[in-house]
Amino acid sequence: MNIQKITTKKISEQVAEQLEQSIVDGSLPTGEKLQSVRELCEQFQVGRSAVRDAITVLKGKGMVNVVQGEGTFVSESSNWQTFGTFALSDEAAIRDVYTVRKWMEIGIAEEAALHRDEKHLATLEKAIGTEEGWEADYLFHITLAKATGNDMFEHLMEAISANMKKALMDCHRMIAADSDVAKKIEEQHAGIYEAIKQQDSEAAKASMQTHLIYVEELLQQALKGEDYETANAGE
């Protein structure tokens, strides 16, 4: 296995990423036993908690299996969930994932307008205008995915939101600090809601596209901000 020295920024994530890459490229084949926590600490030059957290991440992705008293083993590739469960820390990767989300959500808005029910509308209305920040925004967008009646949209939105949570929360802190921006977001959500309520799929698509382009601009600012950089430094 080709070990790279760990630098700063989310140490456990970097360890997990290197181990994952070794599993994916076959350096650590199926059934292979990983080195002990102590040995991995020495290899990566990190603390035990970082290695344990990295193994927890890989276990959550189905890439390793921890056998009590025996060790940690690489799982069959059919069990892997390689889209990831830990937050992305690379700006380019976050932008790429957001682009996927943007175009997917335009389609979600169209489908939600055609298939929503009264329960979905009530939840969407509840999410608009609250002061719960990230949580309210997540509720609004995940409810739209549920309203499509397509479980895959819901699963993909959950995965994307989980990967982007840190960056999106930074973005929402910036929104909360500017009442004009917060008001504009609320108005955009209300516009999407009205289009969904009227079952106007074209208006829903257009409103969602306008909203996501605006949020993308805010996200770019959040990624450049000091808060995002310093929050990812060290562990």
Q: Under a CB-based contact definition with an 8 Å cutoff, are residues 205 and 110 in contact?
A: yes
Question: What's the whole-model pTM score?
Answer: 0.60
Mind listing the pLDDT tens digit for each residue in 128-166?
976 567 788 888 999 999 999 998 898 888 778 766 766
Q: Under a CB-based contact definition with an 8 Å cutoff, are residues 140 and 211 in contact?
A: no
Q: Examine the pLDDT at 204 and tell me if it is beyond 90.
A: yes
Note the pLDDT of residue 87: 43
Q: Examine the pLDDT at 15 and tell me if it is beyond 50.
A: yes
* Cα–Cα distance for residue pair 191/206, rounded to 1 Å: 10
Q: DSSP characters for 111-166?
A: HHHHH--HHHHHHHHHHTT-S-THHHHHHHHHHHHHHTT-HHHHHHHHHHHHHHHH
Note the pLDDT of residue 231: 35
* Cα–Cα distance for residue pair 232/186, rounded to 1 Å: 29
Q: State the CATH architecture for 11-79.
A: Orthogonal Bundle (1.10)
Taking the domains of the chain in order of start, what are their residue ranges? 11-79, 91-230
Percent of the chain with pLDDT over 70: 81
Q: What is the CATH number of domain 91-230?
A: 1.20.120.530
Q: Examine the pLDDT at 47 and tell me if it is beyond 60.
A: yes
Give buried/exposed letters for 98-124 (b at 16+ CB in 10 A, else e). beebbebbbebbbbbbebbeeebeebb
First to last CA, the chain: 24
* Cα–Cα distance for residue pair 139/6, rounded to 1 Å: 36
- Cα 209–Cα 108–Cα 100 angle in degrees, nearest 5: 65
Q: Examine the pLDDT at 84 and tell me if it is beyond 60.
A: no
